[in-house]
Structures are given as structure tokens and as C-alpha cells.
Structure 1
């Protein structure tokens, strides 16, 4: 029997599972648990999870960027994407990204960063993101990231 995958806004009781997934996949480079908790409070509709049989198997965190005090949302960020190894290759990351992009509808530009060697970069390119620049120390010494943008059509 096929397992049913659903994607929706994270529930408060799922925050720890999101952190555990983040920690499992990114180790020392993961977001701290308190950041994920505060992200839930700051952008509750932007913390989306993929669930399989009530287990969190992926998540994406997206947030609006306010470029002026007018608080008009013109740009957005995909701050994190994580998919459990047990479901990688099944389109979970793509579905999460598509839902995040829908959540940020109205933004003129969407931004994200990715390690230059991360295979997810191909997914981002398929979804319309293009390279803007690469910084060798984006997250600290020897932590390179490619900054990518998707311009709304």
C-alpha cells in the first residue's frame, strides 16, 4: 500500500520533529532549535512540513522580506529546505518548494542560498532560480553559498 504524503502548515507540536530533521541532515551547520521555534512564531504560514503517516519527513521555511518601513512585501526568502533521506528522490523537495513559492505569491523576487555542491541546486534551477553570486564565507569561514533569485513572471 502506498504511503500518503501531505504538505501543510506546521503544527506547534511538530517543531521538535522539524529541528530533529534539520539536525540529522545538517549536523553542526543546522539552525538551532530556538531559531526554528521563533520562525514558527514569526512566519507561521511559512513553515511548511511534508508528512507521511503523521511523521515529518521534510520541511521548508519561507519568509517575506520587508525592504522599507512600509512593510509592503515585495521580496521573499526560502530560508531552509530539508527532506529526510528515506523519501529523497520522490519529489518531496519539489512539492515543498512549490508550496513555499505559492505562499510567497505577490513577491517580485524570491531569494535563497545553497551550497555550490548541493544537488538541490538543480531543483532550484528547474523552478526558475538563477545564480546571482557566490560568497566563499557566507555562513562563516569556508562556508560557501550561491545566492539565487527567481523573478516573478
Structure 2
């Protein structure tokens, strides 16, 4: 792919070690992620370390991790996220080094399209790395209604075909991992997953022939939640903003959805593909401008 600008070159940092992201590093990462105000659950990191360990990396000094990135590959597509550098170490090109290493790992498995989300401050550097904007992702927050009850899945429509319709690639590992911990609502037109988290419910993935045809599943879920907080990350291109506002949801932040490589067949009207609050680059780390300083 042609570059409009030369790729940025990270500065060499003395005593810097790029090393695999180990399971024992997860606790350190989660502390830093919490300090940044991210929503991130431990299971997300466990999934990534098992699904694509070579793309999950840390930067260390004296053996202590202070910066992190994760990547995951689904067939021809991949995501990069969780790019986080300790505040005291920013401005030295460490985030860029991790980013380039993660991209290299995705190239090794012949990934054709790499996705991420970017803040306004981070976007220019991602563009220099060859990424282009395709949409905007907004984080929506609302609450349930009706009487709180124990969530129980409804319907028996196969999830994987509908998820593949929206995503464009089979995400069997991820969908299986989510299904094991989520409540699934499904109907003839598609499905919606509700994931219990610490103090809120995360919606996603949510997919169907048309999201508007599956809003009855969303309403059914809300009616079961009482006043519990609900979080949803949704691309602007699916045009459900009015429907969400009618249900008293409000946008709290936004990010550019970007890709690099082969232009994907993008179908935002069929899917809210994000399956986690922060973990896959799908809205990860990128609600601040701190990832590449």
C-alpha cells in the first residue's frame, strides 16, 4: 500500500526489552488500565494471551513491564489494542515500537487487514503507519428498565453465521469464549449477547440481517435489567443512534475506526461486532490520546 508519509521511526531506548506479555503481567496491566479509566475485564486478557500469544507484548526495564499491546488474528483480519504506556515513560517512542512489533506478528500469519480504533490525537500517527478511517465508533451508556431478574438466554438461532455476516470472517474462538460467559438473546433475524461485568452489562457482539430488525432483542434485555448500567460500543455507520437516544442512551466518547491493508467488505448496518470493553483494539485504549506518546 502506498504511504503518503514515511513511516515514523521509534527512538532507541537504553535498557529497553520487548518481551512476551505473560499471564503474570495481566495484574499489572489491569492496574494501569483502571488508572486510565478503561473498562477491562481479566477474562479478556486471558483470551488474547491464549488466542494469539505472539502478538501480545510488553516493554520492560529491569524485568518490570511498563508498556503493553495486544493483537489478535481472525483469518485474514486482525485487531490491535490495549496499547498502554506508563505515564512516566511516555514520549520516548515505546508505544510506537510495540505497535510495529504487533504489526509484524500479524504479517507473519498473513493478515490482510488490520483494524484499530484511534483518538483524535493518535490518528495522525496511525495514518503515517498506513491506517485509514472507515467509520466512527461511539460508546453509549444507558440503563435497564422494568424489574431486575436473573438473565436467561432466549432463542436458538445459530450465532456463528450471523456473527460472520457482520464481521466478514469466522471468529469461532472469540464467539465460543463469549458464549460461555454471556447471556444470548436470539431470534429469526439475528442475536445479541449480554456480558455481565463489574457494575455494568456489556452488549456485544450483536448481529443480524439488520440491527433494526433485532431491536426487540435489545428491548427485551433492557426490560430484564432493572436500573443496571449498560455499555455498548457501536459504529456510527449502522445508523441506530436515534434508536438508542429514544431509549435514553447517551454517547460518552468516540474514536476513529481505522484499517490498514486490504479494504474490507464493511457492513455496519448488520453488526455491532465489539465483544469486549477494551481488549481487542476494538475501542481499546483509544479513548485517550496516551497510547503513542
TM-score bin (small chain): 0.7 to 0.9
Alignment partner of 1:23 is 2:29: no
Q: Deviations over 1:88-112 (max 9, x none)?
A: 1100010000000001002111110
Structure 2 unpaired stretches of 5+: 1-12, 140-231, 235-250, 263-293
Aligned to 1:96: 98
Aligned to 2:7: none
Aligned to 1:11: 22
Structure 1 unpaired stretches of 5+: 66-72
Q: Where do 1:1-153 residues align within 5 Å?
A: 3-25=14-36, 27=37, 29-65=38-74, 73-105=75-107, 106-115=110-119, 117=120, 119-137=121-139, 139=233, 141-151=251-261
- 1:77 shift after superposition: 0.6
Pick the structure with greater CA Rg: 2
- Paired residue secondary structure (2:76): strand
- 1:3 shift after superposition: 4.6
Report if aligned partners of 1:79, 1:112 keep a CA contact under 8 Å in 2: yes
CA RMSD in angstroms comes to 1.9
Regions of 4+ moved over 6 Å: none
Distance 2:47 2:77 in 1: 21
TM-score norm. by structure 1 comes to 0.81
Distance 1:123 1:52 in 2: 25
- 1:41 shift after superposition: 2.2
Q: Name the count of aligned residue pairs.
A: 140
